[in-house]
A = this chain, B = another copy of it.
Amino acid sequence: MGALHAGHGSLIDRARAASASVAVSIFVNPIQFNQPDDYTRYPRPMDADLAFCAARGVDAVFAPPVEQMYPRPQTAYVEVGRVGDHLEGRFRPGHFRGVATVVLKLFQIVRPDRAWFGEKDAQQLAVIRRMVEDFNVPVEIVGVATVREPDGLALSSRNQHLNAQERAIAPLLYTALRASQQCIASGQTAASAVKRAALDVLAADPRMQVEYLEIADEAEMQPVEMIAGPVRVAAAVWLGRTRLIDNIRC
C-alpha cells in the first residue's frame, strides 16, 4: 500500500536477493478499508516511494489508479473463511475479504513466482497463504520478520499519525507481547494467564486502549485456550486516533 519504510525495504531486499526481477505493487486498496477516514488519511507519498524502490534495485513498480483496478464496482470477492473470523477480522468486518480480493487480482495481473509479506500482519499472511493453497494460485508465499524501531515499536505507515506523547508510549505494545512470550517460555500453557501477563503491561498507561489481545494458532488464526504448540500472540490497541497492531510468535 505504499508509504514505504524499512519494513517494506526488508521485503524488497529479500526478494532482490532471491529473484531475477522484482516488482513492487503500490496500491491503497479501497475495498479493504472498513473506515472511510482511515482510507482518506492513509499516506500516499508516491514520489518518495518510487525513489525508495529505485534505490533498492526494484525492476518494476505497479501503481495502478483505482479506476484501473476497479473499472466498475467489484462483484466477485474472495470469501476467506474461518482464517479471517477472529482478531483483526472480528474488528474490521470485510477487511480480509478486501485484502484477499486485491491480492488475488494483483497475482493474476503481475503473475509473480514468489511474493513476500511481512509477519507484522500475521493474520493477513495466514489468510493469503490459505487462499493461495485453496485456489491453487501458482505463487510461493514467503513471510518476513517484522522490522522494529530500536525501542521495539513495529514499523508501520500509520506510526506517522502518532504525536510525540503517543509515540513515546507506543513501544508498550511490544513490551506487553514480550511479557506474554516470556510467560509461555516459562511453562505457562493457559491462554488466559498468558493474556493477563500482557494486559497487565498495557494497563500501565490508560492511553493504551486495547481492542483485542488474542492467542491463536498460526495456520488458521483460531483462538486457543491451551497452548500446546507454536502460537501467535496478537493485539490491536488504539492510541488516540491511531490504531496499532503487532504480534509475536511464541
Interfacial residues of chain A within 2-28, with CB under 8 A of chain B in the complex: none
Q: How far is the CB of A136 from chain B (nearest CB, A)?
A: 4
* Cross-chain contact of A76 among B76, B79, B108, B109 (Cβ < 8 A): B79
Interface segment out of the listed A127-135, A174-182, A183-191, A194-202 = A127-135
The residue in A108, A111, A130, A131 that gathers the most chain B C-beta atoms within 10 A of its C-beta is: A108
Interface string of A101-130 (1 = CB under 8 A from B): 100110011010000000000000000001
Residues on B with C-beta less than 8 A from A220 are 75
* Cross-chain contact of A109 among B77, B100, B130, B136 (Cβ < 8 A): B136
Residues on B with C-beta less than 8 A from A97 are 79
Total identical chains:
2
Residues on B with C-beta less than 8 A from A78 are 76-79
| In the assembled complex, A82 has its CB within 8 A of some CB on chain B | yes
Residues on B with C-beta less than 8 A from A135 are 76, 101, 104-105, 108
| In the assembled complex, A81 has its CB within 8 A of some CB on chain B | yes
Interface string of A202-234 (1 = CB under 8 A from B): 000000000000000000100000000000000
| In the assembled complex, A240 has its CB within 8 A of some CB on chain B | no
Q: How far is the CB of A109 from chain B (nearest CB, A)?
A: 5
Q: How far is the CB of A127 from chain B (nearest CB, A)?
A: 8
B108 touching A138, Cβ below 8 Å: yes
Pick 29 A–B contacts, CB within 8 A, sort by A: A74-B134, A75-B81, A75-B82, A75-B130, A75-B134, A75-B220, A76-B78, A76-B79, A76-B80, A76-B81, A76-B100, A76-B130, A76-B131, A76-B134, A76-B135, A77-B78, A77-B81, A78-B79, A79-B97, A104-B135, A105-B134, A105-B135, A108-B135, A108-B136, A108-B137, A108-B138, A109-B136, A109-B138, A111-B138
